Structure 1
């Protein structure tokens, strides 16, 4: 709020040439508190006013007056704003008390729909660490969208179609053991899939066998369909165990195969609009004007490709949900694919094509290399989660063996550690898999945040804090850093969603917890003077921290 007030006053003083939005974009938060709470640099005004930035700052500072400002001081080419700490502290605590978990919410997404394509593992393959990113980034974005007023539709678009399933069917015919597959489906199917690729390097005819079996699957051959359905059902059963552990749910789980009998309509639509051209026997949509290679719609042997299915799925989703945004949370290696999809939809004169957005993310790396199922080089998410929970359990036994609900707390801490390790990184960056870093219970981790909340809850319990008796008038300069962080939460929610970057919330929560821990270490919170007001600050901290972690998909135990 104070940034908006400052931007409004400055734009009024500077004149119509300088919009409030432009002024707002320049406002900074000083790195050192001695330089104030907000700062406005005057350097870009020098040319217009034909004066030095320092002189402009000296002229503007005395004219900035508001109840929220304690003072405005020129400093070189900057105006440093010191905010009215007692007024803003009271305002902030009162707002959190009134709004509770709704604090930080927005309504700019009201009456709008967001469809999220997320997770999307392939059947008959293990749910690896590589799939974690789409799942938790997509889940966090859905939570943020809802916090901003949107209605969301989370779709798990299962990879259950394509030439790789022809290869799997061919591998099953050669080496499949029904009894072993029934008892341990995913590892056994992965084993024969890996073997197929290993042997195909020596015997290229196997690739042709894979194509043959995919053609049979497309033609609804009874044997191919029967085994494909078996593989799919067994896979979904295993995936759901992972989703339950992560606390991730979907509004719709649908495989690519759902669109198998609907793609002809898309191909017809492309043909009617004069977009299909022949290319060495294949059917493509040329994208020369966009500087992109052609989008392959049908291969020369008549089989479809995933671009055809994605186009069909996008059209179906708009017809079903009339979305305002369709977010595809998919790795950055698919950037070209989604550029092609978006341009083909635009060529069909579909006005909503501009609302289709690829939310790309970096890879989960192992020793600097991409994980790959076909090469047998993967780390199973199930095993990582199990180890994280076990380590959390060990830590609890060491530090608090009398804790009630140890199993549940260990699950919340262990799973939270894995999720946070991913989400604290900018989604566009690659993440190096490190079990050691992920499970460190100190530093920039979820357990650090969860423990800060447990510490706050302990204070509230010890003091028998009752929200109805809360006081909000707190005159404590040491609390100001915490208050400022609490005031940032609504802005960080907005920025995290509009930038499609949950790491902004993760990094914010770390700053909030560090500010609180510093206050906790340097202040006798339970001393009688201003006790109830300080406890309200502790309560407000806990509300915001827990809500921020919830947005990331992480539970917060009351005791650890």
Structure 2
């Protein structure tokens, strides 16, 4: 049992029936100053129960809290401060990491239950823009974190593959499209046609009418319309998968909006059966005024369905198919009202599982403090940005380490990793400032810095001829080593925090702090010095490398062993 858990257990035993071990664990803090100890428990809450001064409660608890894992436990004002036995604890932590390897930090919270996670969801026949980066990397990282916590994550890409825009695109293709040109560069040419439709429609209003007619044909199953729609979908998905391959992101389902076309009538009938639908200006809605929210629009006056109808249908379908314990939607914060409405309508329908639906919102990607431009026909293509990042990383490697093996693979991992980390180190609800130059720095709060620290640890291990990884270890009590050990001990709690708060940023921030402590250790200790602590120091280096690599994996990044 690690020091923190044992400290929590001892405090809980001394406060019988007041706080459980888990409750104590959540309240344990890290002291502000090193000389105050390694762990601290505040007694303010207990003062309300015992009707005593928190400082006197702390004094009593300090005298009762004893273990060979603790070198001393003292009170300081209202806090119980615990000094861990460095040799004892560091030896156990290193042994545990070396035994468990990448499984270190894994939790059993999920107990194998399923969680569906809806993320990325680009629009068919439109370029995969920077606008879809955040949903993709946040969703992928959170899915990895869910699995680390013992859940089975079902990754769903709810493609934007239906709607009136396809009637417009079919119209544009019939009027100005050339199959041979479109096949050469499908997305670029389809975007051109779509933009041209809107430009021409400004002077010819009949184009909008023609677009609506073609979409109606598509809805009615017209063979020609369906063939074109299917082709647009296939070429788009092929291009998207190329980008997902660059990002190392996979999905279990690509069922998009169109998949629910034949299932929405059941949802509408269900709403009617529960007498939840009412008519407003000819449209069918579910009123939510008791929640101080606008009505949820289900069906337009012309019978057309909407996003809400599809999302309700998708939620019902997914629960039937997967029997999920939880369902997460990684969608921009501008859709918060939409998901509030969807979740409330599902509750009104009597679905108990609706309380397990979560919207994980996120902010914008900014450039020079402004939302990235998406002017008419001018979108910032994600693939171009990814390839530029790889090229910049390759150039940097060429300058710093021209003899490096597998330069192109390392450049790929560093370039892609830089973009992922820059996004994920920011809390999801905050906006991200985009700058390739900043992202690819090997110092500071960047993915390249974390990857470089991992490569440095691997380099030290390669230089040691003696270390085999199975030597008997001594505990490490010096401060630089102990600072790294304490960070390593913290990994599983950071995994749990990132899961509970739905913030991959917790892992990114943790990795930066671990790397800072490891680099201080590297600067202050002669790691390869031949003495009786050599094996233990190298074990600490290996443990740091294991945890950094696993943390990067959770974020969806690679950990090069050389850079």
TM-score range, shorter chain: over 0.9
1:196-215 maps to which residues of 2 (within 5 A)?
196-200=197-201, 206-215=207-216
Go from structure 1 to structure 2 and tell me whether the alpha carbon gap of 1:202 and 1:248 turns closer, same or farther (over 3 Å shift): same
CA distance in 1, matches of 2:513, 2:541: 15
1:503-542 maps to which residues of 2 (within 5 A)?
503-529=505-531, 530-542=533-545
The answer on whether the counterparts of 2:143 and 2:153 sit within 8 Å (CA) in structure 1 is yes
CA distance in 2, matches of 1:65, 1:131: 53
Normalising by structure 2, report the TM-score.
Answer: 0.94
Per-residue deviation at 1:325? 1.0
The answer on whether the counterparts of 1:72 and 1:79 sit within 8 Å (CA) in structure 2 is yes
CA distance in 2, matches of 1:403, 1:92: 34
The answer on whether the counterparts of 1:155 and 1:251 sit within 8 Å (CA) in structure 2 is yes
Structure 2 counterpart of 1:500, from 502, 514, 524: 502
Per-residue deviation at 1:15? 4.7
CA distance in 2, matches of 1:204, 1:294: 31
Residue matched to 2:86:
85
Per-residue deviation at 1:552? 0.8
Residue matched to 1:386:
387
Q: Structure 1: 5+ residue runs without aligned partners? A: none
CA distance in 2, matches of 1:555, 1:122: 28
Go from structure 1 to structure 2 and tell me whether the alpha carbon gap of 1:298 and 1:427 turns closer, same or farther (over 3 Å shift): same
Go from structure 1 to structure 2 and tell me whether the alpha carbon gap of 1:198 and 1:434 turns closer, same or farther (over 3 Å shift): farther
Say whether residues 1:257 and 2:258 are aligned partners. yes
Go from structure 1 to structure 2 and tell me whether the alpha carbon gap of 1:337 and 1:374 turns closer, same or farther (over 3 Å shift): farther
CA distance in 1, matches of 2:544, 2:535: 14
The answer on whether the counterparts of 1:157 and 1:253 sit within 8 Å (CA) in structure 2 is yes
Per-residue deviation at 1:154? 0.9
Residue matched to 2:416:
415
CA distance in 1, matches of 2:491, 2:19: 28
Per-residue deviation at 1:18? 4.5
1:478-497 maps to which residues of 2 (within 5 A)?
478-497=480-499
The answer on whether the counterparts of 2:105 and 2:495 sit within 8 Å (CA) in structure 1 is yes
CA distance in 2, matches of 1:493, 1:229: 41
Give me the CA root mean square deviation: 2.0
Q: Structure 2: 5+ residue runs without aligned partners? A: none
Per-residue deviation at 1:61? 2.0
State the aligned residue count.
Answer: 560
Residue matched to 1:558:
561
1:328-477 maps to which residues of 2 (within 5 A)?
328-371=329-372, 373=374, 375-464=376-465, 465-469=467-471, 471-477=473-479
Say whether residues 1:70 and 2:108 are aligned partners. no
Normalising by structure 1, report the TM-score.
Answer: 0.95
The answer on whether the counterparts of 1:298 and 1:305 sit within 8 Å (CA) in structure 2 is yes
Per-residue deviation at 1:437? 2.3
CA distance in 2, matches of 1:23, 1:212: 64
CA distance in 2, matches of 1:432, 1:194: 28
The answer on whether the counterparts of 1:371 and 1:377 sit within 8 Å (CA) in structure 2 is no
CA distance in 2, matches of 1:309, 1:57: 56
Go from structure 1 to structure 2 and tell me whether the alpha carbon gap of 1:198 and 1:75 turns closer, same or farther (over 3 Å shift): farther
Runs of 4+ deviating beyond 6 Å? none
